[in-house]
Structure 1
């Protein structure tokens, strides 16, 4: 609060100074103002406008307008430019007591630059596809051969989505989110687990809950993406989730909002933005939130606080700086994680196990505490009209202290709680240097990024794992309670993990998009990645090793080199409207250990072949993608059939399917979002117990999501709206294998589900109120960790804007 008050006071004095200066100098000075727009006449925000002779500049506001007041009469040169776009100079003359208007409309090829320039006023507010992160190039969605989904803040706000799990409902194939014990969230993507560990295109891992208060949008980038992003940000073969944070803007504004709902849900958010200098080239924004919620089950709660300040500074017309910080702190109890008893040879469903849907079997004093601090800094420098330098540094730290729990089945009717007690810390540093060019070789336009990437990871473990008594979960004892005192008394005899480990990754990559014709483009990308694992240092013994390797073999520190490619073709059937595309992309993961001959394992690889069509038609009223993909994973480790103590590296896996994504704005006020995902995954060469089976935890084979809303755009009730949507998925598996004795199927099935949501809202210039119901029908559903999902949850909200 002190920081907020200080910012407001500074802004007050800043306004006072401006007013005094304008009152005293307006008769003897002149001014320059104007409007910067795209080729479609849409206003562009945060474009740099400067006076060359005075070394003075400003940025355009949310309407694309700029103003340079209090100028001494004379002749000047106005320069308008964005990073990655050609600069434009205008000769202007300032006359005392008059305003000189200088407008500029950017050419089409420069509508999307390398900085976070916002195209304001798009007809379809839920289909803001343009991104500076997906390709690390000034590349529009229709020019990009890769598929990605964006969930913008406008859709997040309308749906009253207050957590990442709710936001992900709009991503085709994401499924029911898996919430880990410390609040970390994981989604499905094309049959693989995917975490939201990319932040503004760089590593921003958080082994804790991530509050969405500072989110501008989520970008779900589909398919193996190691060529540009590596594996350090938990990109999976199915893709990665990139969290794009809110950036400062040119103007004073913000809002304060309160949310209240079922199970004592209370949430307060704040968003304040202000310029901090007279030229409005230095901007500050602060987002924050605090949330408390009890579980819908008999016990359990979460309490979180987050602060996210950001600062941007247009140092010169060529140099800009962005500083961005995320701080989060949470205390809560673990969500239910149930691992059923699977020793018996049978197929069973979690819905038939009689596991109590509303019981946790734990106590509210078995809590964990997490803390997260992510620091992001980016320096952009325009080297020339054709080349730009980006220097980016990211530092991410997460710590977990307290108790993490799981419920392990001991028979068809009994369970035993396992509790991990202690401290864990994860620290990651990512430094990246990119050189981005937009130039021609002969008649061929090239958009090229050349980058160097260094990633350091350090993990610290000091914890003990203990098991409590076995109880009947169908008829639990009345006095059953796992208390903190009971767990602490067992911790000294538990299994200890006291160690540190670290690794370094050194990588270089290049990606070039070549315009072979005005409509035909080719993308050629390559990455070389050197991974150095420094080993595990055992604090008790003082010995560094590789930890427990594959097949029980101790594998020491090691290094691996991997190559990753990304190839794509795009042909625009109708320029900027309909595109045919295809890609061949690669992902990899480093693997430790040696085979029976002592040979070091190679990195595991996956190659994706994909093709489809993208559309952006009728003045952006219809935006969508239809694609087919085929992902082949190789170099999977499997048990050596001649010696079970070792592994061999010849396993393979297949994941193929179809994805459809659509956003539409047929007429003013009506918006539709729809997605469909079909995924066929199976092991094609693996241990006999898994051969030909769909991998457990790969999610439902079929998933559907939709959202439709209507808002009155005129009349006395303008701003009043309704929204309705849902998500459904076919059945999936928590366990899918075969019995070691009979070879018969051994499965734990997660039933199919359909979850429906609805909202009512009234949005005005100075306030917004809303009411929402999640899971209207109180359908019972489970995540892949067999965590029960909440029944119908009611929530109301009120926001004041300024």
Structure 2
């Protein structure tokens, strides 16, 4: 019912503001276009009235409009960090639009460099929003990490970059082959089937680590984005934006050298092929050992792209990705007795590797993206995206380190993976700007479709002695000399292939309505339809095809969003929003019916501010996210008897996530920028049944730090004998959090906490899941950077984790991965 109260509030608000609209005195508008010296649009430059705190930002086509200006004479100015400010007089007449165009002295390529080096502020448009809404008009916390920040911090992995986003933390590295993140209490998955990470606006499988160092930017939308993307994390969605072709010649080549024999050459070339056709090719290769014994990395990434302009109104962009990532899997140091705390892990050096020396995990990934942008006129645009991604993973080693005794003994069992995921995606977005009476609308109509096909394999293992089974050997994680560890590689044979498809589709509508220059409303709704198909199983021994036990499952959900926006001035925005997202549940209710999705409500208050003509941004947001129908084990069967089957569940639990985030970013000159952020989160169980098998009320959920903070500052000298010298520092803090498994009522720590019952025999089978909270202390790391550039050549060096802080990233209950120690990296680059 809460959503209907919000809608009623919206109607009442409109009714209250209507008289204000009629009582307004007549005003005029100022509109125009800003172009570069070579006739190209000057996007995102600041346009404002001199002496009056009223301004705006030119859109991607260089168009701007200042609304509701009292009649009179003014001076309008155009500025950007690193640009020469231009001023022109203008006269505003009531009821009319005064047009005034500007031509900058800089070319498009010069402006591009200025934007890249000088614009690190928060409030930039994000393509994730699909509607090109002005950042201060968007009632949602956003962020953009540019390629300049990525390069200055010499970031390589996605996790290296996301540390710059308040409230987002790296929480897991399962087997050392993929990253998982947490934000606002919710996890962000890896695979396309359940992930919330996108590339160029399309859902992406991030197995094998995407190469962040080659990206143009990384965008984030915090909180629920179900209206635009359906079943995604309620904490944040992430978009990796690859570099696009340009119609001016240029490029760069660089070599990164780092600790543990890391080297990483990168090449980036772009330019025109014809008047209407441009290209870009970005490629890199990385070889590196690790602070963890035996672990090494060999990676190759290539990203070619073509941009074709069909006249003045249509662009066609084709992008292709190829990634080959060969890694040694590493599940960390292990957790003895499944519940031992970090401080109790003795004699575990940071470098000790407990997997077999021959273990491997190889990923190959290809993807193609086709984007068409068509501009019907100044008010209506169409965007269409289609993509195919194919991910193949082939790995062999031993299973994750579970059932380690308190003394450190571990019986290692063989484990392999040969999986695939094919993602087929398409989306269509229509954007329109129009008026109905005195109301201005910014409308988005859209639809999307994703088909995900997941393939998995089963295996037999044969040792040199002919033994068939998963048992490999026994080691002691504290003293490797205790047992004779095996080093032979068993033979692996495929026995079964399982293919599981699913379809996800949705249609959505969103409208940003400007009631006045100060009051706006954003409202929208999405209808999502998801279908998980019954698996197809091929037995390689019999060559027979069978079906999985789970039948087709269909889920449907509506995801509304409504927000009120108040802008006392054009550089300040205050908003209150309600959004809803959903999660898909497995299992059945007590009557054997599939569980419906859980609907999660989010309430957010926020304020966005811009100062110094957009050179300084300061944003704050306060939120509550509540899942009032969390799936829990059902207490009783229909006949009143106690239920012991963990697959029989009911939607009567609850979690609540409260928190706030603060971000202050600035680019005070083209030589100086800083990024700072802080996030607090309290995610806990707030309503449970209290019966055996249910969660413990009031307990924090695992893998959610209470506090996160980040800060970076970079300055480049441009005068005197030290011209070209750059200094930088970055600090990142992850607060205390819990790893392991959350406790359940009626079980002791370390005890199996769920069970299933065979309906025919009545035999209860324990499920291998433990109550085992792992308290992890907070930690901070500090990086220092220094560099020098002269003409086309640059050299940048960094010492990361300069104080050699020791801490861990934990995945569930069975593994702790030590964070990297103090390390060195340097990048030598040449731009042409």
- Asked if 1 retains the 8 angstrom alpha-carbon contact of 2:561 and 2:580, the reply is yes
- Aligned position for 1:522: 521
Counterparts of 2:292 and 2:572 in 1: how far apart (Å)? 49
2:802 paired with 1:758:
no
Cα deviation, residue 262, structure 1: 0.7
Aligned match of 2:731: 726
Q: Could you tell me which of 254, 270, 290 is aligned with 1:257?
A: 254
Kept in 2, the 8 Å contact 1:45–1:119? The answer is no
Q: Which of 370, 394, 410 does residue 387 from structure 2 map onto?
A: 394
Structure 2 equivalent of residue 674 of structure 1 = 676
Q: Give the C-alpha shift of residue 370 in structure 1.
A: 0.6
Residue aligning to 2:224: 224
- State how 1:467-616 maps to structure 2 within 5 Å: 467-477=471-481, 480-483=484-487, 485=489, 488-489=490-491, 491=492, 498-540=497-539, 545=547, 555-575=550-570, 577-616=571-610
Answer yes or no: is the 8 Å Cα contact 1:182–1:207 preserved in 2: no
Aligned position for 1:712: 717
- Offset at 1:170? 0.5
The answer on 1:366 being equivalent to 2:347 is no
Cα distance in 1 between the residues matched to 2:313 and 2:670: 40
Q: Does 1:794 align with 2:824?
A: yes
CA distance in 2 between counterparts of 1:534 and 1:498 reads 16
Number of the residue aligned with 1:275: 272
SS at match of 1:535: coil
The one of 117, 135, 141 equivalent to 1:147 is 141
Classify 1:146/1:159 alpha carbon distance in 2 versus 1 (closer, same or farther; 3 Å). same
User: What is the aligned partner in structure 2 of residue 663 from structure 1?
Assistant: 665
Residues 431-464 of structure 1: per-residue CA shift (max 9 Å, x gap)? 1111111111111111111111111010111143
Contact 2:319-2:370 within 8 A present in 1 as well: yes
C-alpha contact 1:293 1:301 (8 A) present in aligned 2:
yes
CA distance 1:295–1:123, change in 2 (3 Å): closer
Q: Per-residue deviation at 1:199?
A: 1.3
User: TM-score, normalising length from structure 1?
Assistant: 0.81
Q: 2: distance between equivalents of 1:342 and 1:565?
A: 46
Structure 2 Cα separation of the partners of residues 123 and 511 of structure 1: 34
Q: Check 1:342–1:605 CA distance in 2 against 1; reply closer, same or farther (3 A cut).
A: farther
Q: How many residues align?
A: 695
Deviations 1:386-436 (CA, angstroms, capped at 9, x unpaired): 221111101111110122652224212223444432410000111111111
Give the direction of change, closer, same or farther, for the CA distance of 1:33–1:263 in structure 2 (3 Å limit). Answer: closer
Shift of 1:119: 9.9
Asked if 2 retains the 8 angstrom alpha-carbon contact of 1:555 and 1:593, the reply is: no
The CA distance in 2 between the partners of 1:351 and 1:154, in whole Å, is 42
Secondary structure (helix, strand or coil) at the match of 1:406 reads coil
Q: What runs of 5+ residues in structure 1 fail to find an aligned partner?
A: 1-31, 50-61, 65-87, 91-101, 106-116, 548-553
SS at match of 1:716: helix
Q: CA deviation at 1:730?
A: 2.0
The corresponding residue for 2:805 is: 779
User: 2:430: which partner in 1?
Assistant: 435
Q: Which residue of 2 aligns with 1:85?
A: none
Q: Which runs of 5+ in 2 are unaligned?
A: 1-36, 49-56, 64-80, 84-97, 105-110, 190-195, 461-469, 637-642, 750-770
Say if 1:308 and 1:694 are closer, same or farther in 2 by CA, change over 3 A. Answer: farther
- Displacement, 1:237? 1.3
1:753/1:419 CA distance change after superposition, 3 Å? farther
Kept in 2: contact 1:778–1:791 (CA 8 A): yes
Equivalent-residue separation in structure 2 for 1:608 and 1:342 (angstroms): 38
Query: How far does residue 473 in structure 1 lie from its aligned partner after superposition?
Result: 1.2
Residue 350 of structure 1 contacts residue 749 of structure 1 at CA under 8 Å; is this kept in 2? no
Distance in 2 between the 1:119 and 1:529 partners? 41
CA spacing shift, 1:182–1:296, aligned 2, 3 Å: closer
**Structure 2 CA distance for aligned equivalents of residues 774 and 735 of structure 1:** 28
The answer on 1:241 being equivalent to 2:234 is no
| Cα separation, 2, equivalents of 1:262 and 1:687 | 52
- 8 Å Cα contact 1:46/1:118 also seen in 2: no
Q: Report the alpha carbon displacement of residue 125 of structure 1 after superposing the two structures with TM.
A: 2.4
- SS of structure 1 residue aligned to 2:227: helix
Rounded to whole Å, the distance in 2 between the matches of 1:678 and 1:48 is 38
Alignment map for 1:37-56 (pairs within 5 Å): 37=42, 40=46
Sort the Cα spacing of 1:743 and 1:330 in 2 relative to 1 into closer, same or farther, 3 A. Answer: closer
8 Å Cα contact 2:475/2:485 also seen in 1: no
- Please state how far the C-alpha of 1:716 moved relative to its aligned partner: 3.2
Query: Structure 1, residues 344-388: CA drift from partner, whole Å, max 9, x if none?
Result: xx7623563544431112244211111111211111122233221
Going from structure 1 to structure 2, the CA distance change for 1:673 and 1:33 (only over 3 Å counts) comes to closer
Change (3 A) 1:393 1:652: same
Kept in 2: contact 1:213–1:289 (CA 8 A): no
**Preserved CA contact (<8 Å) 2:702 2:742:** no
CA distance in 1, matches of 2:413, 2:125: 44
Q: Using the TM superposition, give the Cα deviation of residue 693 of structure 1 relative to its aligned residue in structure 2, in angstroms.
A: 4.5
4+ runs deviating over 6 angstroms:
41-46
Question: How big is the shift at 1:471?
Answer: 2.2
Q: 1: CA distance between counterparts of 2:47 and 2:746?
A: 70
Superposition pairs for residues 682-693 of structure 1, below 5 Å? 682-686=684-688, 688=690, 690-693=695-698
Separation (CA, whole Å) in 2 of partners of 1:242 and 1:418: 37
Q: Is the 8 A contact 1:287 1:309 kept in 2?
A: yes
Task: Map residues 409-448 of structure 1 onto 2, 5 A cutoff.
Answer: 409-412=403-406, 413-448=408-443
